[in-house]
Amino acid sequence: MTARISTFEQYQEEYKKSIEDPEGFWAGIAENFTWKKKWDKVLEWNFKEPNIKWFLNAKLNITENCIDRHLAHKGHQPAIVWEPNDPSEKSITLTYNQLHEQVCTFSNVLKKQGVKKGDRVCIYMPMVPEAAVAMLACARIGAVHSVVFAGFSTQSLSDRINDCNCEVVITSDGLFRGAKTVELKKIVDEALAVCPCVRNVIVLKRTGTPVEMKEGRDIYWTEEMQNSSGDCSSEEMDSEDMLYILYTSGSTGKPKGVVHTTAGYMVYTWYSFLNVFQYNDGDVYWCTADIGWVTGHSYTVYAPLLAGATIVMFEGIPVYPDAGRFWSVIEKHEVNIFYTAPTAIRSLMASGLDFVKPYDLGSLRVLGSVGEPINEEAWIWYNENIGKNQCPIVDTWWQTETGGILISPLAGITETKPSYAMLPLPGVQPVLLDSTGHELTGNAVEGNLCIKFPWPSMIRTTYGDHERCRQTYFDTYPNMYFTGDGCRRDADGDYRIIGRVDDVLKVSGHRLGTADIEDAINHCPEVVESAVVGYPHPVKGQGIYAFVTCDKAEHEYAALKQDILHNVTNLIGPIAKPDKIQFVRGLPKTRSGKIMRRILRKIAEGDTSNLGDTTTLIDPTVVEEIKNGVAS
C-alpha cells in the first residue's frame, strides 16, 4: 500500500509534499480506491462562503470500497466481531461475505419502503451489527443516514428527525447497557407523535421487550429481511453527494446537523486510519465509540472497513459486569489495536489493577485515545498497565466537523509525550491565532487553533442552514476554519490541545452545549434563570455545574432539584444531568445583561481566591453570596 508511512523521515517528506502540492498528494492517495468514474479536478475551495469540493465529478459508492472490493481476497475474513453486553451471551461474527449479503438485503428492505437516493433515514439503535448494516445500506442506495445516539431523549430525537425531515426511522425494541434495559421503541413512538415526516419505522428485536407496532407504519427487521433479495448493486454517487448528517452541540442554538460528503470523507478517514494506527492487514481493531458519535462513524465503522480490517463492536459498557470487561474482551478477541476515551481509562484506573491483572493483553500493539484531553496520569497508567510499555499511544485530536483525525502521532513513528496530540497529519495545516486574529508563528506559543487549508473530510455545511456553518466556523477569522479549541505549540513544535474556548463541554467524552442544558433547566416553571459551566472532574474530565435562580423557598430546593434533573433527562438525556446544582439569589451580570461566566467557572472550580475584575457587575454582592453558598 503506497499510502502507508513507515518512518518519521517519510512522514516529514509526505507532509511537505502534501503542503506544496495538496492536489497531487490527495490524487495519489485517492488512487487506492474503486471509482465508478475518476475526478476531473481534485479541489475547488474558498473558506469565505464556504465552498469546499474534493474530487470533482468523480462517481463512486463508499460501500463498494468498504465491502465489495474486499470480497475476492477476504470474503471469509471476519469483518465485524460483535461482543454483547452480557458476557454469557454468544458473540457473533459477520465475515465480509456475510456483511455484504446483509447490507444488500437491507438495502432492498429500504428500497421497498420507498427510500431513494438523497432521502434521510434516522438510525436510533444499540451497538449491534445491524446498526452498521443499516448505515451501510443507506450509503449503498444513496440515502443519507442521521444516526442519533441511543442515549438521547425523546425530545432530542424528534428535534433531529424533524430538522432533516427523515422519512424512515430504524430502531430496536430496546437496548441493554450494563445492568439496564432501555425501551427504545417507546421513545421512538413518543418522538414520532410530533414528526409527521416519518412514514415507516423498522424495528429490530434485541431485548424481547414487547412493543406496540403501529399498523401501516411499523415493520420488523427480521421479517423484512427474510422477504428480500440479497442482490443490490450500489448506487452511483457523486463525490460531493451527502453521505451522512450527524448532529453536534455548539455554544449557541440547537444542535447542528454536520454534513459529510462521500469521496473526501472516504479518502481521508481511510488514510488517517492506516497511518495513525499503523494498521496491518489481518489486525483485529477495536474502537469502543458508540455509532451515535463521530468516532463511531469514522473509526468504528467506515475507516476500518475501508481498510478491510476485522472490527470488534461492543454493545456494553466498560464496568459491566465489572471493571475488567475491556481487558477481558481484548484477551478474548485478541485485539491488536485498541481505541478508547480518556474518561473510560480514568474510571478503570480508579477501579484498580486487580481488574487488569487476570487478563493476557499480549495481543495489543497500538493504543489510542480520543474525545478530550488525556491527563498525564491517565496516559501513564494506560501506557504502563495496558500497553506494558510496549504499545505506542496515539492521542488523536479531531472533531465531528473534521470527519477524521487531524493531529496525532503516527503509532511507533512519531515520538510521543503524555497529553500531547503531537503533529498534524499530512494535508493538515494548523495555525494558532491570538484573539485579535494575528497568527502566532514560531514555537512556544498558545492560541486559538485554526486550520488554514481544506482537508478532504472536512464539514461541507450544516444541514438546511449554510449561513450557520459559515458563521460558526469560518467567520471568526477570515479564511480560516476555526476549531473552537485552544492549543499550545511547545518549544519542540509539538501540539497540545488545551480544551474548548467556547461554551461547549466534553463530559465523559460526550459533547454538550451549556446553552442546551440551560434551556432544559429553564424549562422548569419555577426556574427563573440558569447558567451552566464546566469544572474539572476526576473521571468525567468535565463535570456540569448549574447555577440556578428560582422563586422557591429554601426548603423546596430539594424537590426543585429533582425536577431539574428530570427535565434535563427528558429534554436531552441522562448524560447532560448536572453534577452540581447551586441555587443562588442572582447571577453575576454586566450592565448590558451578560452573565459573567468567567466568574462562575472560577467558583465552580473552587478557585475563589482571585475572581478578577468584578467592578463592571451590576450587583457585585451576588458574587460574595455565590462564593459562600453551596451546591448539592
Contact positions toward ligand 7RM, by CB under 6 A? 248, 293-295, 370-373, 395-400, 421, 483-485, 497, 499-500, 506, 511
How wide is the angle at C-alpha 145 spanned by C-alphas 151 and 577, nearest 5°? 20
Distance between CA atoms of residues 406 and 111, nearest Å: 36
Chain residue at closest Cβ approach to ligand 7RM: 400
Q: What are the cell numbers at 340?
A: 478508547
Is 484 or 513 the residue whose CB approaches ligand 7RM more closely?
Answer: 484
Is 86 or 475 the residue whose CB approaches ligand 7RM more closely?
Answer: 475
Is 397 or 477 the residue whose CB approaches ligand 7RM more closely?
Answer: 397
Is 256 or 602 the residue whose CB approaches ligand 7RM more closely?
Answer: 256
Distance between CA atoms of residues 585 and 423, nearest Å: 47
Least distance from C-beta 499 to ligand 7RM, angstroms? 6
Question: How many residues are listed for the chain in this entry?
Answer: 632
Question: Is residue 444 left, alpha or beta, with left meaning phi > 0 and alpha meaning psi from -120 to 50?
Answer: left
What are the backbone angles phi and psi of residue 505, rounded to the nearest 5°? -110, 155
Least distance from C-beta 622 to ligand 7RM, angstroms? 30
Cβ neighbourhood burial of 551 (10 Å; 0-12, 13-18, 19+): exposed
Least distance from C-beta 593 to ligand 7RM, angstroms? 28
CB 300 within 8 A of CB 289: yes
| Cβ atoms < 10 Å from Cβ of 92 | 15
Beta bridge partners of 533: 545
CB 304 within 8 A of CB 271: no
CB 509 within 8 A of CB 343: yes
Cα–Cα distances (Å) from 529 to 291, 543, 584, in that order, read 34, 20, 10
Least distance from C-beta 197 to ligand 7RM, angstroms? 26
Is 69 or 488 the residue whose CB approaches ligand 7RM more closely?
Answer: 488
Least distance from C-beta 395 to ligand 7RM, angstroms? 5
Q: Cell 484477551 sits at which residue?
A: 331
Instruction: Look at residues 199, 175, 200 and name the one whose alpha carbon lies nearest to residue 187.
Output: 175
Least distance from C-beta 402 to ligand 7RM, angstroms? 8
Least distance from C-beta 327 to ligand 7RM, angstroms? 22
Is 25 or 379 the residue whose CB approaches ligand 7RM more closely?
Answer: 379
Instruction: Look at residues 332, 256, 324 and name the one whose alpha carbon lies nearest to residue 511.
Output: 256
Least distance from C-beta 310 to ligand 7RM, angstroms? 23
Least distance from C-beta 365 to ligand 7RM, angstroms? 20
DSSP string, 499-510: EESSSEEEETTE
Task: Report CA torsion sign: 151, 154, 157, 163.
Answer: negative
Helix (H) or strand (E) run with residue 177 in it? strand 175-177
Is 421 or 622 the residue whose CB approaches ligand 7RM more closely?
Answer: 421
58 Cα distance to chain centroid: 28
Is 330 or 407 the residue whose CB approaches ligand 7RM more closely?
Answer: 407
Least distance from C-beta 341 to ligand 7RM, angstroms? 8
Is 189 or 494 the residue whose CB approaches ligand 7RM more closely?
Answer: 494
CB 506 within 8 A of CB 372: yes
Is 11 or 473 the residue whose CB approaches ligand 7RM more closely?
Answer: 473
Least distance from C-beta 30 to ligand 7RM, angstroms? 24
Is 158 or 340 the residue whose CB approaches ligand 7RM more closely?
Answer: 340
